[in-house]
Structure formats: structure tokens, C-alpha cells
Structure 1
Amino acid sequence: MATGSGILYIVATPLGNLGDMTPRAVAVLREVDLIAAEDTRHSTPLLRHFAIATPITSLHEHNEAQRAATLLDRVEAGQSLALISDAGTPLLSDPGFLLVREARSRGLRVSPVPGPSALVAALSVAGLPVERFVFEGFLPARSGPRRTRLEALAGEARTLAFYESPHRIRETLADMAAVLGGEREAVLARELTKIHETVRGGSLAELVELLERDPDQRRGEFVILVHGAPERAGEDERDGELVRQLAVLLGELPLKQAVQLAVKLTGRRRNEVYRLAMRLSEGD
């Protein structure tokens, strides 16, 4: 820990309902020397509402690499800095990673001020298994790369969690239905804590149909939760053959070459073969 330095606070702010602002968050934002915000235009009304007069500066994805060092120089000199995003907890699909990583590499104190998170809020009300989950943030904007990423997740047994914006929500759900299967159970959480909050569950196909039928359901910010793939109790006959082939190939070839050859021999998906090869190579 750098002696004589200030503190970098990571402060969660409301998703929409101002009643979710914690007293500690208000106190910290009033006491620090500077607030770094993803969008100062968005955050200024929030600060004004809580009578927070602390100076504010911008820190977003386009300037974080250039500004992080300068801001941390101030913390190193003894000032305290608070990082906030437009809504919720910073760094979760929001700027701040470079700032926090550099702060920790300098030995500076980084302190969380917990509060709202769209991810956690959605998981808490979805009715899907949440003891294990995978947070993917935003999927690629274009359908091709998006489907490729979804194919890599198709066999994932844990609940899948995504963020999505209104102008891509319909296409993203359609791609999920096509790749993961229209029957896969999912939950669409929209505008959490806001006036038009909705949490809709059903199959992916049903949620696609909902958005087609009701354009209002395409508005706002979204969390998509998808039930994981069913875990099989054991390998079926087809998988057993793949296991036997991989065992032989891995005994003679490097993992990458063994996977490539197994894909050619079996016609199975590369990501599926790769996951199994990894398990075998690790002795699972």
C-alpha cells in the first residue's frame, strides 16, 4: 500500500430509482476530491439531486487509457477519487478496468461502495438457477460473430447472463433461439427499478414472439438470462466414441492437432470437441 496516498472508491449508483442510492454512496461522493463519471451530462443531475457539489470529470471507454495515469497521480499524491458509471456498479460492461488495474499495480487502495447492479437484480427475480452463472456482458453487435459466440456457449450448463440495448434486443433474442434452441427457458428483464420495469419469462421462442407482438417491450435497457444446457448424467454412446478417439489422438499429438483431427473424423462442433479434449488432458 502506497503510504500517504488517497483512496480510489468504486461507487454503485441507482439503475433508475433514486431511492436505491445508499447513504454511504452519498457520503463518499460528497467527501472525495474528484468524481470520475462515464458521462458527466448523465451523472450531473444525480449529483445535484443529492446535493453533491464535488468536482466531476469524464472517464469513458474512449479516454480511459489516456486519463487513468493522470487521475491516479492525484490519488498517489493524497487525493481521493470516486468512480461512477451511468447506472449500477462500475466495471460490469462499463469503463474502469484499466483504472482499477493500474491503481492496484501502484499499490493504491481501491475500496468498493456496493449498491445496485442490473445483473444481480435480474438474477434475484428470474427464478432460474443462480448458484452458478456466467456473465457475458454484451454480445457482438453483428449477427455472424454473435452466433459464433453463442455456439461456443451452447453446451454451458450454468445460467447465462447478458446485457443488451434496445436497438439490438430483437435480433439478439432471435439469434439465441436459432443457436441455443427456441425451447430453451429464458428471462427478459427490462428497465429494472424504473417505471416501466418488466420481467418476462418463457422459452426463447416465446420471448421473440413477445417482442414481435409488442414493440413497447423493445424499449429500455435489458438483462437476458438463459437457462444453462441440461447436464447429462453420463456420456452417451456417441460421446463415448469421441472420448475413445480423443484419448488415442491426445496420446500421439498436441491438443490443438488432436482436436482438429477429431473434428474432421467425427463432424462434431469444434468447441464441443475442444472442451472434451481439455477435460481429458487435465485428467477429468
Structure 2
Amino acid sequence: MTDKIHTLRYSDIFLAMYFNEEMSCLHRNHSHVLVYIYSGELEINERGKITRLRRGECAFIRKDIGVQMIKKAHNGKQFKAIFLMFTAKFLRDFYNRLNRTTLPKEAKRNKISLYKLPANRPDILSLFESMKPYFDSNIRPTDELLQLKMIEGVYVLLHTSKSLYASIFDFADPWKIDILEFLEQNYMNDLSMEEIANYTGRSLSTFKRDFKKYSSLSPQKWLIQRRLEAAHELINKGGRKVSEICYDVGFKNLSHFSKIYKEMFGVTPTEKIKS
């Protein structure tokens, strides 16, 4: 077998194949993700909590969760997985077609960001095994088929837990701007919490309350973590000075940036660049 990486992407469905070599990446998903493992192993590290997925296992990863993913072969089998990515637009369209009277009113969004689904469920096997032939074929699935698979994926989640209703349909009232979308676009800007709340159509107290639905971190800590992750990505790409990266991602003090970068990644930015 070769160690070449093969990836396929169709619409909002991302199919990825990785051969023998172990691949590690820092990943932040801007959409909710449903991942299914055909072979190999996916190790997900969420702030020290390790979850391993192997053949036939499936998990839901909530959007805005920064995780370290390690994709590798297992028992001599190459890593092979499929990712369904549910964009806000797709979920809004889906939600607008639902009969609202059937929605569980008692559903509450929990703080679980990585949800491992029960194994060997017929609906999960039916959804993902039907996509397997596209790994080994040059035939592109039609847009209509992909749409059906995305819809199947949503129903897999809705039939798993009532709490997932509140997670996947987590968009705010129509007049409010999505908090995470706004922060992703503006985390590097020097904005106060009051300004962020105002820009997203909320009072400060409502903003803080709504933010708790998305993260167990405070808004300030979320911003610091997001800036550090962005800095880490830029440092790994190379070609930039530490000072440039520091200010570009939103930090004002270079020594403070170096200190908290080391706390998160174990080395200073300068040491990371030299390594």
C-alpha cells in the first residue's frame, strides 16, 4: 500500500482516506460533524479527554470544538472515514420544513461536545455503508443523493437523544446574529464584551447566557483559546515572525502571548518555530 493521502469532497460531505502513515492535525469544526469509521482508528483529544473511534463506530462533534485528531491504521487496516458536515444553512432549511409540534419541548442543550453514538444501529449502518462504494469509484454521487444522505444524518442524530435537538438546532432568534459565526469572523479584533453583545443583537447579560449554550468556557477564555489556536496554525505554516503572528491574531502584548502559548502548547512560539 502507498502512504499517499487521498481525500474526496462532495458538497457538504467530506470523505477522507488516509493510508498507513499516522496523521495528526489540530481541527476546529465550524459546522456540526457526524463521523463514521470504516477502518483504522481516529483518536480525538479534546482538552485532554481522549476518545477513540474504530471500525463501525460513529460520533457527533459539536461545532466550534477545537480538537486534536490523529488518524491512523489499526490492525493492519488503513484509516478510512466519512464526515458529514451540517452547515447552518442546511440545518435552518431542514428546521423550517419540520412540524414544530413534533419537537420535544423539554429538550435541553447539554454541554457534551463529543457524543459517541451506539454501535451497530441499523440506521447508522444503512446511511454510511451506502456511501462506501464512492471511495473506490470515479463516479460522483449526485447532489440529490448527497442531500438525502445529509437528511438521513440529521435523523440519525434526532433518533439518538432529545438533547441533540437543542444542539443541532441551536441557531438564535432570527434577529440575533449567530454568536459563534460572529466570533469566528472577529476573534482577532479588539472588541469589548459589550460591543460583541451589541453586534450580535443582545444585551450583555443575554449574550453571556446564550454563550453558555455553546461553550463551558467564558467568552474571554474562549477568545484567548481561539487566538492561540490561530497562532499555532500560523506558526506551523511558517514564514512569519512571532511578533507579526501575535498581533495578527489579536494579542497586544508579545511577552504575555509567549507565556500563555507555552502554557497551552508546552513550548514558546520562538521555540516552536525553531523546532
Q: TM-score range by the shorter chain?
A: under 0.3
Question: How high is the TM-score relative to the length of structure 1?
Answer: 0.25
Structure exhibiting the larger radius of gyration computed from Cα positions: 1
Greater RCO, CA 8 A, separation 6+: 1
